[in-house]
Amino acid sequence: MEFRPLHGTFGAEVVGVPPDLQVNDAEFRRIEEAWFKYSILLFRGLTMTPDQHVAFTRRFGPLHIMKEHLNATLPGWPEVFVVSNAIKDGKPIGLKRAGEGFHTDGEDKQIPNAGSFLYAIEVPPERGDTLFVDMYSVYAALPADVKRQLAGKRARFSRIDLHNVHYPLLPPLTEQQKLERPDVYHPLLRRHPRSGRTSLYLGRWACDIEGMPQAEGRALIQYLVAFAQQPRFIFRQAWRVGDAVLWDNRCTQHCATGFDDERHVRIMYRTTLEGDVPLMATPEPIAA
């Protein structure tokens, strides 16, 4: 087994594992350590069954079930979320156009998801890539005065404010759904519980910043969003059938890009890891 870097600062392709990812404990520990080191891991040429997909992901921790999208899970495997524009027997088999816009899974929940593992079953012949952002490097590259401004601050993440913006194809939230998805606050500078490193933590559900005038907080969020989307921080995954990417939501962002979904079909299976309460990073000495 070896790990081949994908980008200058993060990401690695895992080479030399069986296509069903049935690895022993020692091999798994190497994969887990590499995940904490590289933040995203790419596996190519896999032939996993749903049982194997679920079992491998579960070795990293408890799995999350997308209860709000149970109609988009794989029949018989509620842990497998289907991202697809395919239609079967007159009904969608998954959620269409999921994941567009830079984000981290579960950022709008009290306890965001720790990681996600996306497996390509069928891909379009062109486009449909996924962009991944190294949020450790984004934090490291921030100007010193901005780091000082963010130290100890939390962003407000609001599904209520932004649902219609990010999910225009879905119905508006009901009053019950709003009660179930209240605004949450997470540290903008987040310490990873395993690597100990600090990343900038935000995504498309971030609205403004606790303790700041709303207009000022929104402007700073907009600045941070644009800063994080610079090409130097981004790895582009061009999918092939049999590819799978395991990403760490605590220190990366990702964004699905579009394709001609009127002409082509994409089918992706995703398992998702339950997370942990985001930790505020301890402010580090920053030179004036």
Number of Cα atoms under 13 Å in the Cβ half of residue 75: 3
For every residue of 110-179, DSSP letters joined together read SS--SEEEEEEEE--SS---EEEEEHHHHHHHS-HHHHHHHTT-EEEE-HHHHHHHH-TTSPPPPHHHHH
Which range of residues forms the domain containing residue 163? 2-277
The reported pLDDT for the residue numbered 31 is: 98
Q: Domain for residue 238, yes or no? A: yes
CATH of the domain at 215: 3.60.130.10
Q: Does some domain include residue 288?
A: no
pLDDT number for residue 2: 98
Mean residue pLDDT of the chain comes to 95
How many domains would you assign to the chain?
Answer: 1
Task: For residue 287, tell me if it sits in a domain.
Answer: no
Q: What is the pLDDT of residues 219-254, one digit of tens each?
A: 999 999 999 999 999 999 999 999 999 999 999 999
Q: Considering the domain boundaries, does residue 111 fall inside one? A: yes
In a domain? residue 282? no
pTM of the model: 0.94
